[in-house]
Structure 1
């Protein structure tokens, strides 16, 4: 494994930011134990650049708070203090043992303890290691180094107990397995399956954050199937499970049912935004509710509109922002527009190109084709038309405005909006290219000449 020696100690030390080192040294100088904890240690041992640099310490929260000028007691009752440094924040957590289960997320109370007991209350072995900054060595009380070498996701201690302490850990198991491409150890997997139905105890925001990491991973297809096989998908996105066994016309979808197709569409995305990944996940969510085995072939009339409605409900359930929701709903509602795009008159086609989000919609078309019949001719035609439009670099600034039409004799009202839209269509089709031509074009219509 990259970064490890035969005696399991790394050959290099993590590059810890200066402000984190300052906090560490202040704790040590005051006589307290201070260790780098969690994901930073895991990532370093994997040869990955660490992202989060959190410290674990023997100092109790009141002492930590007194040692530093600017602090935020984000969870002092659970031993967590945030230190505010000029370069950024450093989260410092007191070594603790969790006592009881309050709500499937937090313990009823905590008891401050030593580093070993603190490690034993964490989620997975690969996340339960510490880094001794001064000794420059790993401190491993849970077998995390061994499991990194085995490339396996294993809960610390009794898996069901870990998941009962915080139900979100089941989603985290899927996330780490997806991103690291490590299988989940059998006993841990069995516990995920057994406890999956309790994921509803977790807030939509926390589920959304884990789902985002899963479907943004290059290995998102593996995560898609892990969510389904574990039973978590049925709880968090039952609409996706309803796609199973919904067959499609084989001449267009030789890959199989809607569930299989959706997974393939996801797999073909390349570094998508979260909204595009969600749009791909939900683009055919309306098919189960519109399935029709017609005389000529299977059809799904209106699945785009029904899918848009369902997608909006899902986004609300997962507490997505209004902007994210609007983009995802747009992608689902408009994903069939490409079927008619080549036949559209130029003005209408260019209106589609001007839609906010069209570039992601075009990418959804690409992966939708790849995930079905793999005939890319329609996508390539539409891509060529869009590139041609971009080369023209049409200005979005209006040539004339409503006040100009009023000065030309029009009465304020909806007719002004209709005239301006008709003028924009003429501009899109190159009938009008500048302000003088626009005024002449409008005047001709007012005079009844056209």
Structure 2
């Protein structure tokens, strides 16, 4: 068994793919593995997904399989659900005119050769025949794989004009594969860099998330800087474009937070606006950024207030990064140790608004509860009984 076949068959979705493939073949249709999974197998990497390309139309696919999802039927793209796996099954196609810099106005179902020629990069335009166990290469993608070169299929400017996101994908795949962007392809990215502005924030965010997750993200970021993409999208990174993968950053928002760390006050908000982040991710990134600008925003407070601030995940992440850099090391170590002693979550307050009903009113209620909770977090109040006794004395002082 060759390396490609071995890696494909070791994939958790292989049984589902094999089932789909045999059913298509039994009904007279061609079907090949396509795109990134073939590329990765040739590189000795297990792919995230196994995708199939076929001459069966979306209607044919729908009629053959009981569970299908129409994700882009007009473009020939369906998803087939088999044995709990969600497999993309796309019809060989030739794209029509692109007028919006994102998608073709129409497609014509075609052949594997024509399907390969409409793809973005040669290394992503390979097919694998599951019957003959042979790679089908119509664009010299295997040659570029061996040379570790990222090259557009056909004329570079045309490929980037079709979908402006491909400009950013060039940087991302340079990072993901650790490949050199071929000179003509790089020249086209440099010439067309301003067009990346037309790409939606969601697509830019998703592409940057993938880029920053790679082992060689610094290579992709350098491509962005050298080509002008960085100047268009993230000009603040021109001041300092260093990137070292940080093991503390395990979530996408954390990597994005580190990416925008060098933004100055007026630069951050427009970038976060553009990226169309979820409210949770945006809040966490903003909280982390503020702490990186001034750790004393946390550390100057009483222990009780510091612990309350750690309820924000962005604050905790920022402090852990600072600790890894030996910034305010002693203070942060003590604080994070105390936070850990609370199982890294705030306890239920001993006192609540019901305890103050008819005894305080308005803002005074919040002030009192805040003080009581602060005392609780500093372990000066160990139980509700102690808190009620504290409250009695507090009210006596307030009324005197």
TM-score by structure 1 length? 0.81
5 Å matches for 1:381-392? 381-391=331-341
C-alpha distance in structure 1 between counterparts of 2:69 and 2:304, whole Å: 56
Equivalent in 221, 226, 231 of residue 223 of structure 2: 226
Greater mean deviation of Cα atoms: 395-404 or 25-34: 395-404
C-alpha distance in structure 1 between counterparts of 2:383 and 2:58, whole Å: 68
The total of aligned residue pairs comes to 393
5 Å matches for 1:21-170? 21-170=18-167
Three-state SS of the structure 1 residue aligned to 2:151 is coil
Three-state SS of the structure 1 residue aligned to 2:128 is strand
Three-state SS of the structure 2 residue aligned to 1:73 is strand
Is 1:283 the equivalent of 2:261? Answer: yes
C-alpha distance in structure 2 between counterparts of 1:118 and 1:402, whole Å: 66
Three-state SS of the structure 1 residue aligned to 2:8 is coil
C-alpha distance in structure 2 between counterparts of 1:19 and 1:39, whole Å: 18
Deviation at 1:52, TM superposition (A): 1.4
Residues 326, 345 of structure 1: alpha-carbon distance in 2 compared, 3 angstrom cutoff: closer
Is 1:330 the equivalent of 2:287? Answer: yes
Do the aligned partners of 1:280 and 1:364 also contact (CA within 8 Å) in 2?
no
Is 1:398 the equivalent of 2:349? Answer: yes
Three-state SS of the structure 2 residue aligned to 1:14 is helix
Deviation at 1:222, TM superposition (A): 2.3
Deviation at 1:425, TM superposition (A): 1.8
Three-state SS of the structure 1 residue aligned to 2:392 is helix
C-alpha distance in structure 1 between counterparts of 2:186 and 2:132, whole Å: 36
Is 1:269 the equivalent of 2:246? Answer: yes
Q: Deviations over 1:335-361 (max 9, x none)?
A: 244247555433333333343433211
Do the aligned partners of 2:62 and 2:68 also contact (CA within 8 Å) in 1?
yes
C-alpha distance in structure 2 between counterparts of 1:362 and 1:277, whole Å: 15
Do the aligned partners of 2:58 and 2:77 also contact (CA within 8 Å) in 1?
yes
Gap regions ≥5 residues in structure 1:
5-9, 245-258, 287-305, 370-375
Runs of 4 or more above 6 Å deviation: none
Match in the other structure for 1:365: 322
TM-score by structure 2 length? 0.90
Do the aligned partners of 1:362 and 1:383 also contact (CA within 8 Å) in 2?
no
Do the aligned partners of 2:286 and 2:314 also contact (CA within 8 Å) in 1?
no
Three-state SS of the structure 2 residue aligned to 1:51 is coil
Do the aligned partners of 2:308 and 2:346 also contact (CA within 8 Å) in 1?
no
Q: Deviations over 1:167-192 (max 9, x none)?
A: 11111111111122111111111111
Do the aligned partners of 1:104 and 1:164 also contact (CA within 8 Å) in 2?
yes
Equivalent in 342, 346, 354 of residue 303 of structure 2: 346
C-alpha distance in structure 2 between counterparts of 1:206 and 1:432, whole Å: 50
Residues 122, 21 of structure 1: alpha-carbon distance in 2 compared, 3 angstrom cutoff: same
C-alpha distance in structure 2 between counterparts of 1:403 and 1:185, whole Å: 69
Gap regions ≥5 residues in structure 2:
none
C-alpha distance in structure 2 between counterparts of 1:271 and 1:389, whole Å: 17
C-alpha distance in structure 1 between counterparts of 2:118 and 2:126, whole Å: 12
C-alpha distance in structure 2 between counterparts of 1:130 and 1:50, whole Å: 14
Three-state SS of the structure 1 residue aligned to 2:6 is coil
Do the aligned partners of 1:79 and 1:94 also contact (CA within 8 Å) in 2?
yes
CA RMSD of superposed structures (Å): 2.3
Match in the other structure for 1:442: 391
